Amino acid sequence: MYLKLEDFLNITPKVKRHPSFDAIEEFTGIEAITFDGAGRGGQKTKVFAYRGFPKNAEGPVPAVVLVHGGGGTPYLTWVKQWNDRGYAAIAFSTTGEFPVRVNAGRTEAEEGPRAERWSYLYGEFLEEGYVAAPKDDFMQNSEQPLDEQWMYHAISSAILAHNVLENDERVDATKIGICGVSWGGVITSLTLGYNSKLAFAVPIYGAGYLRETAESIGEYFRSGKNPELWLAEDRFDRAKMPILWLCHTADANFSLIVNTKSYLDTKNNNDKTRLSNVYNMRHSHYRAWLRNDPLAFADWVCRGGAAFPQIRVEGDKVKVSLPEAEMVSVSLFYITERQSYAPNETGKVVMQQEWQKKELSVVEGEADATVTDEMVGHYFELSAKVGNDEIIVTTPYIEK
């Protein structure tokens, strides 16, 4: 019998070091580990992860669980980015893969066949009593028992990765967050409804309400038993931690609409929750890593960093609150048709509308919020400096 996802909160997983796969060169100090995952068919599974700590840290440090997206792997670059900021970090494989060589998963743009870098349960990772975890099944096995479904294992692994950090004396157990990209953002959006111990959450691209998306993601969440099992929005009322919903304004898989709905469902649960629609961000792990918003957000929540500003609409005015930030600009972004998506000449599904931008004049924290009839969809953006980081916060997207 499989465990409920909530049951994993109280499990301290068995952790094993794999020094022969520890990172080297600029990533020296990042450890290769495995930990026990969810059971499958009455047997145990094993999850690979990179775990890193800030250099020369004094005392327990805050930490983050990093969840990669579809086609991705645990990334050393991502772990190092958070380590350099002062956080312990663990990046685990959501698809049951293990490295074939040292420094596999350096970054997103690795060259050569994947099989030369990652493989399934093999070699020193084999152990009696363990079976392979499910691969990414694209939500096609919802009729199967939960312990045969990829999403069940991905969410439970995210919770168990949190527990690995929580039980490490080098980590401040009260200051562990989660950050995921794309499918990792989807997993993050689901996990925050189960893991009440999270100090913060940053889903990037991925969100709730995915039955409403235009691309194949929507088909996955509309099919089989997935609407009964894997709708993040069904548990948003349980998500009391600060959340930064960070998305790309033209994303075909994860639109502004679903991110706005996710933000509106959770914003009243914690007054630090924010929405960040980023124009021309595009979609990749690399593009997500270029944004410092997640790091600055974690600093605010966990390390006494500068507070994120707010932007809101009241009547015919846009109002800006900058408690510890410096304003760069306030802008109105709009489109003159409802958002829609279609394949381009290469077959890639893209947004059909072009965003228009109008920079606003702000006087004493206020600007004119006039929206004309031609603006079928719109939102307001505040670009600001929080400490040394340029960040973006936005109002919800509204479409006529």
Residue 282, pLDDT > 90, answer yes
Is 391 in a helix, a strand, or coil?
strand
DSSP summary character for residue 223: S
Across 218-230, average pLDDT:
95
Residue partners of 254: CB distance under 8 A and separation at least 6? 182, 185, 205, 206, 207, 210, 213, 217, 247, 248
Strand (E) or helix (H) holding 180: strand 171-181
DSSP summary character for residue 354: P
DSSP 70-116: TT----HHHHHHHHHTT-EEEEE-SSSEEESSTTTTS-SS--S-GGG
pLDDT classification of 71: cutoffs 50, 70, 90 = very high
How far apart (Å, rounded) are the C-alpha atoms in residues 352 and 338? 9
Of all residues in the chain, the percent with pLDDT exceeding 90 is 92
pLDDT of residue 59: 87
pLDDT classification of 70: cutoffs 50, 70, 90 = very high
Q: Chain-centre distance of CA 274, in angstroms?
A: 14
Q: Chain-centre distance of CA 326, in angstroms?
A: 26
pLDDT of residue 216: 81
Locus of tokens 């030369």 = 116
Identify which has the larger pLDDT, 88 or 217.
88
**Predicted TM-score of the model (pTM):** 0.97
Domains of the chain (ranges plus CATH)?
5-305 (3.40.50.1820), 310-400 (2.60.40)
Q: What is the pLDDT of residues 167-204, one digit of tens each?
A: 999 999 999 999 999 999 999 999 999 999 999 999 99
The encoded tokens of residue 356 equal: 């228009």
How far apart (Å, rounded) are the C-alpha atoms in residues 191 and 202? 11
Q: What is the pLDDT of residues 95-112, one digit of tens each?
A: 999 999 999 999 998 888
Could you tell me the CA-to-CA distances from 294 to 21, 82, 83, 291 in Å, in that order? Answer: 28, 10, 13, 7
The encoded tokens of residue 160 equal: 């168990």
Pairing of strands 31-36, 46-52: antiparallel
Q: What is the pLDDT of residues 361-399, one digit of tens each?
A: 999 999 999 999 999 999 999 999 999 999 999 999 999
pLDDT of residue 1: 62
Q: What is the pLDDT of residues 196-216, one digit of tens each?
A: 999 999 999 999 999 998 778
Residue 334, pLDDT > 80, answer yes
CB–CB of 386/323 below 8 Å?
no
Across 332-352, average pLDDT:
92
